[in-house]
Amino acid sequence: MKLTVNSLLETKKLAEDFAMSLSEGDMVLLNGDLGAGKTTFTQFVFASLGVKDVVNSPTFAILKTYEGKFTMHHFDTYRITTEEAIEAGFDEVISNKESVKFIEWSENIKPLLPKKYIEVNIKVIDENKREFEITRYE
């Protein structure tokens, strides 16, 4: 599915609709340039699923965990290799069938990822407009 949003409000609506499609065990791979809106989209999804905490980019922490309708893990693997991810125990978190995982910059840990995931590609059109392409791989 490809959809263009013209504002932050439309991004929020898309994220809320997307949140309702998630189930335990889902993995969401977020792709897009710096500033595309990966973390913003994640914030809206998590809020829709009952997360009360402030959701920030896990750039420095690399992994943050939140509780809502599901246990939700938010990864930022921009500066991490597959080997470092394994050493940190990410493979166990990724394989958890009871939590929902959102991974920014997932290409850096591709060997750890299962074949079943949801990919969200975000392309910047202009300051407010974004193109979202959402694909579910089974």
pLDDT tens-digit readout, 86-135: 888 888 888 899 999 999 989 888 888 899 999 999 999 999 999 999 99
Superfamily of domain 2-137: P-loop containing nucleotide triphosphate hydrolases (3.40.50.300)
- The SS3 assignment for 105 reads coil
pTM of the model: 0.92
pLDDT at residue number 97: 92
The CA-atom distances, in angstroms, between 13 and each of 1, 8, 20, 48 are 15, 9, 11, 10
Question: Residue holding tokens 């939590």?
Answer: 99
User: Rounded mean pLDDT of the chain?
Assistant: 93
Pairing of strands 130-137, 117-124: antiparallel
The answer to whether the beta carbons of residues 101 and 58 sit under 8 Å apart is: no
- Taking the CB of residue 87, how many other CB atoms lie within 10 A of it? 11
Tens-digit pLDDT profile for residues 38-77: 999 999 999 999 999 999 887 777 899 999 999 999 998 8
Q: Residue 27 in 3-state DSSP?
A: strand
Domain map (residue ranges) of the chain = 2-137
Contact 94, 114 (CB under 8 A): yes
CA atoms within 13 A on the CB side of 32: 24
CA distance 72 to 99: 6
